[in-house]
Structure formats: C-alpha cells, structure tokens
Structure 1
C-alpha cells in the first residue's frame, strides 16, 4: 500500500507520507480491506493534515465510522447535523459531559470536512457552509442546554410583550464576520455578540437576578463550553471584542442599549462588521426585531460614498500592519488577498445597500454576481474576482488544515512549501506561486480601481498647489485681496461677488458646527469645485447654484465624498448647474440624486417607455406590497432620478425638445400605471373586488384619462397632471371578497382618492405630481370618478365648447384596455359630430378673449411684456386654432381625432387640406420654438413673461393667422 500511495507524491515528501501513515495504521486496520476511494484520498490527507492524522491516531474507529456511514462521500442534508448533535447532547447531565460531547462532535466533523475539502470532494461553498452549520448547531444546542440549567438555578428572565404580559426572555447570539456570512474557514475564531430584549429580573423569589446579570452569567458559560481547551480539545475560539464598547463593555446588552450605542457611538468599522451579522443562536424572532433596530446604522438611506474613504483608511492600517509584521505573504491581509475582495463587495453594499436591498446580504459569493446589474461593474471583473477568491480561500484552508491553526501565512520553509503545492494540485512551489501571484495581481488591480486613493492623493502638482492655496485662504478668513486674486486666476470675472458667496458659506452655522470629518470633506472638495466652476462661461452664477447643493448636503457630508471620489461626477455637476438653475435646485432638494451623475451611460442615454416600465417594476418588486410608505418613496426617487436624466440630456442637446416631452410623458404614464396597481391592490385587499356585472369581477374596468399637457404628450419639468377618472361597472352592485364590502361607486371614489393621495402626498422626497381634477364632468362640483355612460351623456348634452376643446387633447394614459377603447369611441362620437362653424368660431374666440383678460398681460403693460402662453400671438392661440379646426371638421375627417398632440394634429390638418402646407409647417415650427423657449426659461428659473421686444416676429405671424382663421 505504501508504494501505491507514494505514486504521484514528490520524492522529498515520501518520508512525511510514511511517518503519517504509521500514525493512522490502527485507524486503517479498523476499516478492514481498504477501498479504492480511501486509497485515492489518503495521500493528500497524509501530506496536507497532521491534524487529521492526530485525530485518527487518538480515535482510530473514527475513519471506519465515516466510511461505513457514507458521511465521508456525501453532502449532508439540511438539518442532518443539527439532529445528530441534539441526540448526542440529550443525555448530558453536567457541564463536563456537555463539553466533552461538543468536542467529540467537532472532532468527527472536522476530520470529515478536511478530508472532503483537501480531496476536492466538496467545493468552497460546501466547506464554508458546513463549517458554519456546525458552528450554528453547536452554539445553539449548547446555549439551549445551558439556559435550562441557568433557569433551574436562578429562575426565568422575564420581560413584557406588546400587550404588557410577562414572558420569558431568551438570549440572542449574533454571529459576526465569517460566521455571520456562512463563510467560516477551517480554523476560524468565531466573533459573537450577546443581546437580550429588555431589562427586568428573573422570577425566582429567593435567588433572583437582573436580566443583565442572568444573561452575562449565561454568556460566560457559553463561552466556556466552546472555548475552553480540555483533554478533548476545544470547539471554537470565541472572540467577544466586537460587542459595544469592546472588551470593556458589558458581556450582554439589552436591545435598547444596543440601539443607543450604535446610534450615538457606532464607528465606521462597526458598520462593516454589522454587514455580515446574523442571529446564529437563541431567539430568532427577537433577533429579527433587533436587526430592524440596527439596520439604519448599517445601511444609510442615501448613497454613502464615505464607505470608500473609510475602507481605504482600514486598508491602509492593514497595509501598515502587514509591513510592520512582515506579512506580505499573507493570503488574507497581503496585497491582492482575501480581504481586498471582501472590501470591494462591502464597499458597494455600504454605499448602495440602503437604497438597493438586493445588496443587503452577507455572503460574498452572492454579492459579487449582483454588481454588474447594481453598479455596472463589468461581468468579466466579477468572474475574475470570484475565481481568485475561491483559489485564495482554498489556499487558506490548505494552510489551516495542516495543524488546525488560524493562519493565512504562506510557508517559508521548503517542506511546508512542497506540502502546500501538492495539496493545491500544483507540480511544485514555483508553479503554485506563479498561479497564486497571478490571482493576487488581478485582485490588486481591481481593488485599486474600486477603492483607489482619493484624487487628492494622486493629483498633479498643479492641483495640489491649488488645494494648498485654497486652504491657506480659507484658514486666513478669506482676506479680500489674496482671495480675489486667487478666484480671478481660476477664471472668475467678478471675484468680489464670488468671494462674498464663499464668505456667506463659511459664516453659516451649519459649517461652523461641522465635526472635524465634515470640515475635512468640505475642504477637500471646495478647491476642485472652484477650479471647475471658474472654467464655465458664467462662473459667479454657477457658483451660486453649486453652493445651494453644498449647503444642502453639509449634514450628510458623504455626498461631499461622492464628488471628491468622482471627478467625472463633479465636472458633470458643474456643467449642468452652469446651464440650468432648475437642475441645481432639484439636486439641492434631492441630493440623493447626485448618484445619477456618476455614470454618463445612464445619464445621457434615456430609456424608452418599455425600459422605464421594466426598471420601475424591478424596483417595486423588491419592496413588500404592504409597505406603502416605502413604495411611495421608491416611486418618488424613480421619478426624480429620471427627471434629472432627461434634464441632463436636454441641457446638453442629447435630446431634442419633442423627445424630452416624450420622455417626461412616458415617465408620468409609467408612474401612473404603478400607482393605479398599488391603489387597486390596497383597495381590493380591504374591500374586495367590485363587480362589473353579477358574478363578473372588474379587471379593473377603470381608466385614467390625461388632459392638457399629459394628454397632448407635452409634459414639461414642472407640469401638473390634468386627470379624469372613469369606470365601467354596475353602480348597483357591491364589491366581493373583502373584509368589508362597498357599493361599486363608493369603491371607485375611494380608489380615485387613493391614487391622488399616492401622487400628491408630500413625503421627505417631495411629491410625485400635483394633480388637477377640474376637467372632470361638472368640474369641482362633479363626482371624483364618473361612469363612462355618465361621461358620455355629460359630453353630449351638458358640456361647454371649451370642454370639447379640452377633450381634443385627452387620451387614456392608464387602466383597462377594454374601457380605453370604449372611451376612444365616446371621444370620437362627441368630437366628430357636425357643428355650426360660425357658432363654434364665436365660442372659441370668446373663450380665448376671456382667457387673455384673466391670464394674459394687463392692458397697461401690453406691448412692454409678452406672456409666452396667454398673450395675443402666444402658445394658446396656436392650440385654440388647432382645436377649432379639429372640432369644425372631424365629422368629415375622422382622422383628425387620431392624435392628441398639437404637432401631429397639425400634420393631420395639413393632410386633410384644411391648411396650406407652408402655413401648417410654420405653425408647427413656431409652436416648437415657443415650447423650446419656455423650456429654457424654466431651466434657468426665468418667468415665461418676457420683455415685449422678444419673439416679435413669431407673435406677428401667429396674430395674422389668428385674424385670418378666427376673425374673418
């Protein structure tokens, strides 16, 4: 057998092979005839694990048991190890017996795990998962046994439930680090934190303890059961230093104490530790409550780029320790090691995890594959990181399997190197080193790209001098002459005005009250901002706008880090703020949108409606359906972020005006679809489904009709939504299937109210849209939701001409397709009826005159000012002429009713021969020019009432056309 085992083993390892074989002869003897499967696996064990050889020497029957039960050759079923441990511990009568059984279980499982790992019968995920399951099982089973013993001695620790009733409390054991992430290695310490729900005392009258004392004593017993080294070894080395206040803090804390600590004193590195935290033993239900309390500390609601800064600092500390202790050959802490892969994953978890719950996971091999979709990391990079990570972890396990020792240091002696290379399947140390170094180089390169030194650390000498000069000026209280000279050199044409803005910033109480880290972040980004602002065409105005944002984010200085870490985002910010006050104002109210500036691929590449719909559904599907508040916040962020994107495309000319309005209209439609779905789900869950006819439920037989700019596909940035709600269900029927049934009309009225509530409610993120319902039948005095039959009767019998004009621009924007088709027919019937052209012209003209008097420029200012929309020759004149032509001619030309937007209606009017081509083309071009001018005014926060000498040629042409068509 010895000669057979030597085959394939390097000659210089034969002596070691033979020595370890002699150690396990008794174990092999108990197996009897050695099967081929055992022979194949023996060389790697004899070369790779003195620990396994020692355990088989101490307990010779162990190998035969593992082989005969088949446990050596298969993966455990879920819960199998827990059941086996429970049976082993059931008969324990004292602490000594408990300790012995725990260690025997650990010995057996470690031999099995190492055998399977070194022989690649198990992949990395199985090895780390089984180690973690073993730890969870032994901690939890030990805790349960010890808790019962403690209760017998001191009574039950009591607390009160939500109703005030006394209930027994259980400890909650948090596993941190690799234990929490299901990533334990072969010789991991386990990092634990002990917690309990609330203060109180035990119920034993003569020997009662406070809950804190009870759980502290229980925690000490648990540590002893796992950590103490006996004749049978130990179970796990236990590290409690991650608890609040570290080694000087109480061993067990109440939930209130935990929450207060992390809220008031939690440090950045503790956030990283909590990313992987998990309840590993004790009361799982109470543990979930605890994590609910701690989650805001770990995952910030905003995009938190300070994670890069903190991880960089932690990595620098590790690097210093590596150099100090000569640990450059450490596969965990050294360059390109395991820790760098973990930092990459954690960085994006902490930056974006508060907003994207997919990243709120613990396991690295689940986080990394999400990064292409979540943050745009190339898939090739992720694949390389995962491949390198697995090889590094396999190497780590090979190092630890040798002697069951917590080490990640590569061996420096020849025999140690030869053993490791053999176990890793390489020909020799040189081949192993070449492969390992290749993985480490790739990890280092990717780490440098993700968590590279801040630009200020790599900056050019010129940038460094700029920053140094700025800091000197700031520290010198921004003295006029040198500060103005500095700003003049940067490109400011009015340095005194710019300097005053900076002084105003410095004098703000918020700036003065900033903690040191906030001051440092502000000072790091300001010189870069000033340099970029000075290069714009309007530096003083741009500075004013950019400082609006700076003031808005001072209390959340992580946003300053975002700009400092992303020079491209900073340049985009300055460029877009230079072009648009609206853009700067939006960012100052919603600074979380700064994240949108990072990736120009999404910033300047707006999606179509299908992609918008898909993106929103992916966002909403990750939120519990009953969490309306979170759904509303998600809708608002989605809307604001896409408004920002379309504005960026608009400002830079990447999108023409018509496409801007298309995008904004699609955005509103997608949001309305989602809002209707949420409102319908909420209402039907409570009241059941309304019935279209007896026994036939609605589906939902409800539509939202858009009027005005929404109906006309001409939404702008500040547009409200003119809406009308229509249903087609029997008004005499009731809902069915809910906790409380309602009459159909009441149900649909409440549905409409719910939609308006979701759209219009002011939340911390603002509102979705302001809603105007005045165009519904009978206006504000009419029903909020009307039936299609009542809508038709009103339009045919009672509606004013101006209401038919409004109907020209109406279209269904959300809801039932069947009812939408029925609405389109009603609209066509109403608008397509024959009218007296002269009477129609008079009514349209009179309404237009009334609007001019009420909404246009007053007579005293006429000629001096021009209201782009309402004055003679303005936008509404064009709209009214189009509406007149449609209403007057639709009975002969039903194709005029196909579209609801003015541009395509003008095209239809031209095709019908109702206007000469050159006149129709001029009306279209002037209409687009007016709208483009209005867009620019909005973006610069300028009014749409301009001086009388502007747009004069356009106004005269439209006035002439009005006179020809409407006054002849």
Structure 2
C-alpha cells in the first residue's frame, strides 16, 4: 500500500521498519487504515523523517486515525479549537489531568510534525500552532489549579474588591508567537497586589499563588509514562533559581528598575502575558516598557549583545558545537540579536519597533532603512530557512536539539526532509545562508574577525599617556605636525574630574572612542582646535554613557562629528546642549538635506501622534526635539556649503512656522477638552491667527532668532460662552489660547525653549492685551500706531490660523500700508528712528564693522525698503504683496520706483551681509567684519541711503 519510490535507497530499511511496526499495531488493535491518498503518499517520508511520529503512531495508532477522520490532519487552522477540544475532557485529579494533557499534546505534535514534513504547512503555521498549543495547555491547567485552590482557601481580591488572578508571562519564542517544535517554555509568574485570604490559616496571596505555580510547572514538565506536556523553565524570573517563584507587580518593577541585569532587559523584548489574568497582563506590559525601551537612543545595547554573543561562541567552541543552527555563527540567534539591537536602541522613540515577532522586525528594519533592503530580505529568508532546519532536527525525535546530526544516516534524513538530494547539497545551502547572516551580523555589530588583535598605535597613545616620549613619537608617526600640543591636550582631557568620574562602562567606551578619534584627527588640518572642541563636548557628555557608546559603535557618526566640529564650534556646543541630536549624525543624507515645509509638517505630526493630548510636558519636549533636529540639519548643510543663504533662511523659517502651526492645534485641543469652543468655530475655523514680524515675517530667520509675534482673533461676540463643561467667554478663551501657545514655546525645560517669544509689537506693547481683536488692531494701526510700527508691518506676515482670518488680516495690512503719507514727514521719522537705533546698537569701531547696524549695513537696507513701501504703496499697491526684502526690492524695480542698479546693489549687499552673519554665528563670532572688508559694497548702500533718505 505504501510506496518507497520517493525515498532515498539508503533509507528504505528505516522506512520499512517503521511502516511494519505501524501495520502490526493496526492489526493488533483490529483497526483499518483509511485509503486516503494524501496520507498514503506522504506516510513513508514522514515516518522516515520523524522517529517521534512513527513511534507515536505505533503506540497510539488511534491518534492518527482520529486526525484523519476528523479532518484535522488536513486543516491549516485548528488552533482555535485547542481550548474547546480540551474542555470536553473530564478528570478527577491531577494524575488524570497529567495523562490527558500529555496524550492531547502528543496527538497535536504528531499532527503539526506531519503537516510540516509532508510539506502541507508553511513555517508561520507551524510556529503559530505550537505557540497556541502551549498557551492552551497552560491556560487549561491554570484554570483547574486556580479553581481548586479557591475552593479550598478562598478567592484573592484586589484592593477594590474585584477578583485577582495569576498572570503568566511567556518569554522568548513563546512570547513572540514563534515556538519551535521541541522548545521548552520560559515562564515568569506574577500577581498584582499582596494580601491575605480569609481561610483559617490566613494564607498570604504570595503563598496561595506560589503553590499554584509549583503545581503548574509539575503538571506540564514532569516526565511520566506518557511523556511530558512542555519542558517548563522558570529560571528567567528575578534572582533566578534563588528567587521566589512568583512576585507582585511592585516587587517586579522594583527589581527591574534597580537590580536587573542587561540580558534580562533583552529577554523582556519578547515578553507577553500568555495565560491568566488578561487585564493584569496588560498592566504588566505597561509597567515593564520603561525598563525595556529607553527614551533615549541606547547604543550601549550593541556592546552588551556583542559580549553576550562572544560568551555563547566561546562556550560552543569549548564543547565543539559550532554546527549549532541556533547559537553558532550565522545562526538563528545572530538574526535575533540584529533585530533586538535596533529594538533596544530605538524602540523607546519608535513605537513600531516594540514588536515581539522577529520576522516583522526584519521587515521594519529594511523599511526604516536601518539596514539595507537587501539585507532585510536576506535575513528574513535566512531566518525562515534556519527555523525550518531547526524544526526538522527536533521533529526527528522530539528532542530539544539544535546541532546538526553527526551520523551519515541522520544527515541523509535531515537533508531529505528539507527537500535536498543529499547531505552535500543541503550543507552547501546551509553554509551559504550562515555565511550571509554572519556577514551582516559582523557589519551591524562591528565584530572583529580575530579575537586576538594587537593594540593600535592610537590605542597605545591613549593608554600610555604617562610615557610622554613614546606618546609623542607615536603621534608624530600618525602624522601630527605638533604632537606636543596634541599630547598636552589629551593628557589634560584624560585627567579632568569629569573623565575621572566615569563609570567602568563609560571608561571602557571612552578607551575605545578616543583612539578612533586620534586616528581620524590626524587627517584634519586644524586637529588641535578640533580636539579642543571635542574634548569640551566629551567632558559634558561624560555622565551620559549612551552617547559615547553611539560614537564607538558608529565610525561614520564619529567622522561626521569631527568634520562638523572642525568646521564650526557652534555645532559642538549645540550638540553638547542637546545631546539627543547625536542620532542625526548617523545618516549623511538626512543630515545634509534639510526637509521642505511639507516634509517638516509630516515629521512633526508623526513625532506627536502617539503623545496623549493631556501630556503637555511630552508635547513640549517633542516640539523642542523637532526644532533641535532640524536646526542641526540646516546648520550642517550650511557649514558644508550644501545649501545657499536664502535656502538656509527659508528652512529656518519653515521650522518655526511648522512649530507654530502645531502649537496652535495643541493649545486649541487642550482648551476644547477643558472649556469647549466658542459657537460657530471649529478646528478649521478657529477665527484666530498668528502674525510674524521681523526676521520671521521676512522669511529671514537665523540660528538664534527669537520670534516677533502678534496673536489676533476675529470673533464678533466677546461674551459668547464656550460649549464645554467649564464654560468661559470667547474673549477669555482666545486670551487663554494665546497664553497656552506662548507657554508651549517659551517655557524653559531641560531641552531649552522652543523659541523665545517677543510680543512687544502688539498694540500698546507689554501693557497691551496678549491677543488682539482684529477690528481693534486695525483701529490701533490707523489711529495710534507709531511710524516704526508701520515699518514693522511691512514685514508682518500671517503665519498660521484659519483662512478667513488670514484674508481679513491681509486686507487690513494692505489698507494700512497704502495710507496716504507725507513723504517728507515719513522720511524724517524713519531717519530719526534709524539714528536712535544707531546710537544705541551700532558697536562698530575703528577695527570692526557691525554687519547689521553699521553705516551701509543690513538695517540701512531694511529701512530703505520700509520707507519705499510706506511712501509709495498708495500708488503702487503691489508693494503690499510680499514681506521679504528680496522680493520687495524686485517689486520696486518692476514698478520702476527704484533703478535696477540700486536694487541690484542693495540685494547683493543684503545677501553678502546676511551670509557673512550666518557664517560668523556658526563660528560663535558676533556679526562683524573688519573695517577694511566689504568696503565697496558698504559704500554703495551708504550712497543709496544718502540719495533716497536725505
């Protein structure tokens, strides 16, 4: 009945033996085997490839017949029925329960192995089946033991009187829904709150639950005549074998926050409540997140996982087990470590990476460009290949084995089970997969090819600074022109109090980092100055080991840092102030390519989408982080000459605009939650707006600019009440809205302010209302405003708010700028204001020229433009279209109000002065030039001023 045509000849005897034993069992029990072609055609192969399946069918042939007759053997999804299948069993005691569970488990393991070896199931089905089987057996056992314990001693309750259950946490592959065929299950037991039962002995909850846990482990793990259910390991619990079997949530939280070792953190990446109290499990998952996923980018995870991997490799070498598909080079564990490293480093900031399933993580790593798309796909296919190999090794005898078989027969069986013609072809494919995996692993973890490497020259310099002569010789050998200066600076740095206070882990990272830095600096022209800047930066970072670890693990990031620090002291100080930005050094593309406004809007929206509206502090942190990241990108691109001046100002202005847009939305929703909103308003129709003046209005922001703002609202009834629970008038609502927005932006936090907000341009300055009614604002501008306030209005741009308010404001601005003015009086007032400013602010002297306030400088150009607009807008209304000086000058030329010669000179001067100002700022210098610089262009501006303004 059974054909051996597809079985390798050398395995015929094995197949025949198993088939014969099976037939004998059928005959002895007078059972008929169904004539099912699917089963008949696959039985020889399955029996040949799994002694466990063959022996189970021999001992319990009814198992096989039941699976065939019920159709379960052919079904890809019976996982949902495990619990219902178990629920039909009745038993009187633990011994009967143990027998039922083992027989049920053996039958299902027979089914799972058969489908896998016959080629009927995909890997994901096998892993999911095994996981669900384990969960069902755990839950079924727990339900029985918990009920028995409650019947004897009473029901444990929470403080609020509700029933309290046991929480069973699955670790490793069980937690990740990836259980392999003959895996043990790693469990941790927990319960929410301590207490005492009402039985005669006043049993503590801890004792009550501990007994259940011990009984559960015994029922699942103990080997009987029927075998076992699942090998159960509870050594991953706090304090391991010496720790209590179960702990309260408070006890667990305290342990993981204060005493847990690094490997326990890695283990928690895959933790999941697999049975017991569902709500309690959800609470535990929230409790453990801060331990597993740090808010910062934790690059120390690379070193920890690398060290763990080296320990595993050394143990395998000692036992001559390098052909281990799980732990050996290029094995499953290396793939898991790659995924875990990025999860641990970035999971605190990227919630998507808080994923237990390694296959999903590998896809995400490619999508997020944390590894190449090619490596992502290769690791995914390699993982699936290796997991199939692992399952087939274990399905052979239902043993927890990961080593490749040694005997020729067993090798032939494994190769045949996986569809290969022979051992050689399988081994070649396996070796190729493992080599590819190990290459990616070495690349990600920077693993050395040889454990025994001689220390580099730069390492000898750093470690041997006590020996001055040899250190100087080595520095000279590396190419340093003034080794004495470098030596002195390194020695001084090494002996600073901050460096001496480093933890052992921090010192270890520094001992790896500085030699790399010494090597790279040898190629820099201004090595000494750059080393000074970096030394100061690392002193500030000394207590933050994670950033040192980032640079140790990423030579490209270190090179970026050196390049930028060499070019600008501002950059190194900015990073020192906001070290969370170090991650930006990793990606050259994003670092030197600032985002356009649409991309900025999308980035900020993504950054805050998972923050609760009520969590104002986290919202403010996110706004500041967004600003710092993107200002760094602009500065890096500016320093390296990747973007021109006008684009730098555009980008800096876009960053502010996007933050203001989001601040308005956040503040509006916070107030709406508390007070409701005024009638006839909505998210799209707020009747509110923010006006930007000065550099923001003129789209000319610099790196350290504050924001000159005015808040306006256009609501007809100041006394109308909001529609929420805690009603306030519309006037109060808009005033509070303005306060909230300002608070979101200029509250001083550890990460600084988002922006310093200057609102002195509002009607009546500091004594005026924070938020101006739009009609009142127009009346003020028309009847009370000073000439300098009309000058400011030239650059008064609507930044954010609803379209209707924007339209009304722009009409008001147009009307005010187009007012009839006496040109002579206007010129006099503008000149008087310019002289006042020059007396107070111009710090030019015989040696230096103030680019902004000096004669023929930036402010002179701005005043010329403002005068022209105020004087001539009545007859040339197009002068009110733009708010930036460059386009205003172009309009003056187009309207033939200024000669093209004047406009070209003013534009050229404006760009030169502003570009020089930006560059000086990045060198931490004030915006000055030497008096013998830019003489001709300054004189041109001064001459034009004389012609137009006198």
SS in 2 for 1:900: coil
Structure 1 residue 466 corresponds to structure 2 residue 454: no
Is 1:134 the counterpart of 2:133 in the alignment? yes
The separation in 2 between residues aligned to 1:514 and 1:587, in whole angstroms, is: 20
Query: Do the aligned partners of residues 60 and 490 (structure 1) sit closer, same or farther apart at CA in structure 2, a change above 3 Å counting?
Result: closer
Counterpart check, 1:76 vs 2:77 = yes
Partner of 2:749: 763
Q: Hey, what does 1:619 align to over in structure 2?
A: 607
Match status 1:21 vs 2:13: no
- Deviation string, structure 1 residues 204-240 (Cα, Å, up to 9, x no partner): 2x21233333332222111112111122221111112
Give the aligned partner of residue 522 of structure 1. 510
Deviations 1:879-935 (A, max 9, x none): 111111112122222222222111121111122212222221111111111111211
Find out whether 1:638 has 2:626 as its counterpart. yes
Q: Please give the secondary structure, in 2, of the residue aligned with 1:281.
A: strand
CA distance in 1, matches of 2:866, 2:91: 90
1:406 to partner: Cα distance: 0.6
User: Structure 1 residues 82, 799: closer, same or farther in 2, change over 3 A?
Assistant: farther
Say which SS state the counterpart of residue 753 (structure 2) adopts.
coil
Q: Shift of residue 471 of structure 1?
A: 0.5
Residue-by-residue CA offset, 1:230-260 (whole Å, 9 max, x unaligned): 2222111111221122222222223233223
1:912 alignment counterpart: 895
What TM-score comes out, normalization by structure 1 length? 0.92
Match of 2:385?
Answer: 391
What residue is the counterpart of 1:897 in the other structure?
A: 880
RMSD: 2.7
Q: Extract unaligned runs of 5+ from structure 2.
A: none
The CA distance in 1 between the partners of 2:581 and 2:563, in whole Å, is 16
What is the deviation of 1:863?
4.2
Report the Cα offset of residue 862 of structure 1. Answer: 4.9
Task: State the distance in 2 between where 1:783 and 1:78 align.
Answer: 67
Distance 1:58 1:454, change over 3 A: closer
Greater shift after overlay, 173-182 or 108-117?
108-117
Change (3 A) 1:888 1:253: same
Aligned counterpart, 1:11 = 9
Q: TM-score, with normalisation over the residues of structure 2?
A: 0.94
Q: Distance in 1 between matches of 2:749 and 2:143?
A: 45
- Checking the alignment, whether the CA contact within 8 Å between 2:117 and 2:392 is kept in structure 1 is yes
CA deviation map 1:416-437 (0-9, x unaligned) = 1222222212222222222222
Of residues 390, 411, 417 in structure 2, which corresponds to 1:417? 411
Q: 1:729 to 1:75 in 2, by over 3 A?
A: farther
Q: Which residue of 1 aligns with 2:639?
A: 651
Offset of 1:323 from its aligned partner? Answer: 1.9
Cross-structure match for 2:272: 278
Deviation of the 1:503 alpha carbon:
4.6
Unaligned stretches of 5+ residues in structure 1: none
Match of 1:791 in 2: 777
> CA contact under 8 A between 1:455 and 1:565: conserved in structure 2?
no
Distance 1:88 1:515 in 2: 60
Rounded Cα–Cα distance in structure 2 between residues aligned with 1:488 and 1:664: 43
Q: 1:397 Cα shift?
A: 0.9
Distance 2:277 2:234 in 1: 19
Q: Is the 8 A contact 2:675 2:728 kept in 1?
A: yes
Contact (CA 8 Å) 1:27, 1:62: kept in 2 or not?
no
Check 1:665–1:455 CA distance in 2 against 1; reply closer, same or farther (3 A cut).
Answer: farther
Residue of structure 2 in register with 1:110 after alignment:
109
491-500 or 111-120, larger mean C-alpha shift: 491-500
Alignment of 1:664-675 (within 5 A): 664-675=652-663
Aligned to 2:700: 714
Q: Secondary structure at the match of 1:421?
A: helix
Contact 1:388 1:439 in 2 (8 A): yes
What corresponds to 2:544 in structure 1?
556
Q: Are the aligned partners of 1:689 and 1:697 in contact in 2 as well (CA < 8 Å)?
A: no
The yes-or-no answer on 1:747 pairing with 2:748 is no
Distance 1:887 1:485, change over 3 A: farther
Counting only pairs closer than 5 Å after superposition, residues 271-670 of structure 1 correspond to structure 2 as: 271-453=265-447, 464-473=456-465, 476=466, 501-670=489-658
Q: How far did residue 107 of structure 1 move?
A: 2.0
Q: d(CA) in 1 for partners of 2:476 and 2:433?
A: 50
Choose from 159, 166, 175 the match for 1:171.
166
Q: CA deviation at 1:829?
A: 2.1
3-state SS of paired residue (1:583): helix
Task: Assess, with a 3 A threshold, how the Cα gap between structure 1 residues 253 and 427 changes in structure 2: closer, same or farther.
Answer: same
Paired residue total: 947
Q: 1:248 to 1:751 in 2, by over 3 A?
A: same
Deviations 1:51-77 (A, max 9, x none): 222223333322233233332222337
- Measured at CA, do residues 845 and 73 of structure 1 come closer, stay the same or move farther in structure 2, by a change above 3 Å? same
How far is the alpha carbon of 1:502 from its aligned partner?
4.0
Q: Quote the residue 1:150 is aligned against.
A: 149
Q: CA contact under 8 A between 1:56 and 1:63: conserved in structure 2?
A: yes
SS in 1 for 2:910: helix
In structure 1, C-alpha distance between the alignment counterparts of 2:125 and 2:260, rounded to whole Å: 34
Q: Does 1:182 align with 2:177?
A: yes
Does the aligned pair in 2 maintain the 1:226–1:235 contact within 8 Å?
Answer: yes
Q: Cα distance, 1:489 vs. partner?
A: 6.3
Distance in 1 of aligned mates of 2:826 and 2:728: 43
Does 655-664 or 956-965 show the bigger shift? 956-965
Moved more, 797-806 or 878-887: 797-806
Equivalent position to 1:811, from 784, 788, 797: 797
Paired with 1:154 and 1:471, the residues of 2 have a C-alpha distance of: 65
Deviation at 1:292, TM superposition (A): 3.1
Please report how far the alpha carbon of residue 754 of structure 1 lies from its aligned counterpart in structure 2 after TM superposition.
1.9
Deviation at 1:870, TM superposition (A): 2.5
SS of 1:195's equivalent in the other structure is strand
Contact kept, 8 Å, 1:158 with 1:203, in 2: the verdict is no
